[in-house]
Chain A
Amino acid sequence: MEQGILAKTDMKKFIELLIKDHRKVFAPVSRKGRVLFTEVSSADEVKLDYRNTDLSPKGLFLPQCEAICTFTGDAFQEVPLTKDKQVVFGMRPCDAAALSHLDRVFTEGSQKDPCWLARRENTVIISIACSDPLDSCFCTSVDGSPVAKKGSDIMVYTIDDTLLFEAFTEKGKALLTLASSFLKKPKESALEARQKYESAAVKKVPALNLADIKEKLRGCFDLTLWSSIAERCLGCGVCTYLCPTCHCFDITDQTDGERGRRIRSWDSCQYSLFTLHASGHNPRPSKKERMRQRILHKFLYAQDNFKETFCVGCGRCIRSCPVNLDIKETIAVLAAGTGKGA
């Protein structure tokens, strides 16, 4: 089943069906003024009229901390990969696009990441098209859109009191087929409404001029501008931890007497310890180099390696930076600076 209409009042049934089908359902839930993806047990908790979750949903696939193996003394044991079937309901297209970027990192190259793969394969992503972007959103300037399908299995459009579902992957279609008993076939008018919705939504996103940004950034590594850009940075990890495409991690051992586990946990290129050698040498010794790494990784290195910009324009880093460092502005300043050959 590729399309279906669900009355908003029937959402409860839909979520219940998913849970009955032995799937964990994650959806945006409002808690103390923050909206976060949380496992839900009923549709009542789900908040669909949110704009962007405070934390990106990347943690559902790359948890902040997960065990790679456990050990007792010198003998180790593999941690079995997850087999849980999951549905993420109500993801924003920008976050879904970020997942497809991360798929490139974790599944390409000579070695694949089994933990990431297991979670991705067992999860159906139901995205919800965006109609009311924030001032800090800029998805359309980084190859995205409030209705982009990349990374999602199903897209949901809110049309009046109904939700229009459209599936475009096998996983997505299978899920809709499962719910076919209470999904109605959409009328022509609904599809027209969707099209209007799409074009209206795209226009609402503030647009930047990021044309040729990759070429402009290519010559900016040695610009003195980096010092002034990074000057106000405080070196916390907010931007990277909230970012849906930042995926750097650390591997450390945790012990409890003889027993222990090897864990991988989020790490941030903004921390000085990130690249510190045991000898004391640090290739990125100050916040200038670390800021440069973050920006160029997203806009240049990822382009070189994957032909993708590892920024999806969700605006989280802009909204939550304690000192209002704005990646949009940074890029603009750099692009201008390269032109001048400063």
Chain B
Amino acid sequence: MEEKRQTVQHEKTEEGWEPTIVAFLCNWCSYAGADLAGVSRFQYQPNVRILRVPCSGRINPLYIVKALQNGVDGVLVSGCHPGDCHYISGNLMARRKFALLKRYLGYLGIEPERVQFSWVSAAEGARFAELINKVVTDVKNLGPAKQLVKKAL
């Protein structure tokens, strides 16, 4: 994780506001999928900042919550499709954590669309582009994140 906290400094006004979304992508499938989307010249919305992780199983749920605290408007986590994990079961273990986290954040009253999970394989460049577009649209519909966000200093 980047050591210095950098609150995402956008004007939290509805007008002209563009969301910032952090995507945690696993190295073996989803990151390659994103790469393919780029190479294939698939157009998708530019609001995503990609963080490459070795495996979706590497994602500590705290990373997701911390990202929201640091002011991102949405978080996307994507790994290999079930059965395709480079480490055999990383994504399957992660799936349980994610299922609980998704429900838990919703329970606290955080909009479910703020945090999304998906599977994208290395061959699914088009799916990746569509996924990003969907997440960005979802988050745009929600407006800027306000819950859990740390006040700027």
Q: Of all chain A residues, which has the CB nearest B71? A: A256
Complex Cα distance, B4 from A257, in Å, reads 6
Interface centre among B7, B150, B153 (most CB of A within 10 A): B153
Q: Of all chain A residues, which has the CB nearest B153? A: A256
Give the B-binding residues of A (Cβ under 8 A). 70, 254-257, 259-261
Q: B6 near A: Cβ within 8 Å?
A: yes
Give the A-binding residues of B (Cβ under 8 A). 4-7, 9, 150, 152-153
A70-B153, A257-B4 known; 4 new pairs, CB 8 Å cut-off, are A255-B153, A256-B150, A256-B153, A261-B153
**Interface of chain B: mostly helix, strand, loop or mixed:** loop
Residues in A whose Cβ lies below 8 Å from that of B4: 255, 257
Residues in B whose Cβ lies below 8 Å from that of A255: 4-5, 153
Q: Of all chain B residues, which has the CB nearest A256? A: B153
**Interface of chain A: mostly helix, strand, loop or mixed:** strand
Q: Which 5 A-B pairs have the closest CB atoms?
A: A256-B153, A257-B6, A259-B153, A256-B7, A256-B152
Q: Distance (Å) between the CB of A189 and the closest chain B CB? A: 55
Q: Of all chain A residues, which has the CB nearest B7? A: A256
Residues in A whose Cβ lies below 8 Å from that of B7: 256-257
Complex Cα distance, B153 from A254, in Å, reads 9
Q: Distance (Å) between the CB of A16 and the closest chain B CB? A: 33
Q: Distance (Å) between the CB of A258 and the closest chain B CB? A: 9
Q: Distance (Å) between the CB of B121 and the closest chain A CB? A: 36
Q: Of all chain A residues, which has the CB nearest B8? A: A257
Q: Distance (Å) between the CB of A265 and the closest chain B CB? A: 15
Residues in B whose Cβ lies below 8 Å from that of A261: 153
Complex Cα distance, B6 from A156, in Å, reads 51
Residues in B whose Cβ lies below 8 Å from that of A257: 4-7, 9
Q: Distance (Å) between the CB of A64 and the closest chain B CB? A: 16
Complex Cα distance, B152 from A70, in Å, reads 13
Q: Distance (Å) between the CB of A71 and the closest chain B CB? A: 9
Residues in B whose Cβ lies below 8 Å from that of A70: 153
Complex Cα distance, B100 from A280, in Å, reads 37
Q: Of all chain A residues, which has the CB nearest B151? A: A256
Residues in A whose Cβ lies below 8 Å from that of B153: 70, 254-256, 259-261
Complex Cα distance, B150 from A254, in Å, reads 12
| 20 A-B pairs whose Cβ atoms sit less than 8 Å apart in the complex | A70-B153, A254-B153, A255-B4, A255-B5, A255-B153, A256-B5, A256-B6, A256-B7, A256-B150, A256-B152, A256-B153, A257-B4, A257-B5, A257-B6, A257-B7, A257-B9, A259-B152, A259-B153, A260-B153, A261-B153
Complex Cα distance, B9 from A202, in Å, reads 59
Complex Cα distance, B150 from A259, in Å, reads 14
Q: Of all chain B residues, which has the CB nearest A254? A: B153
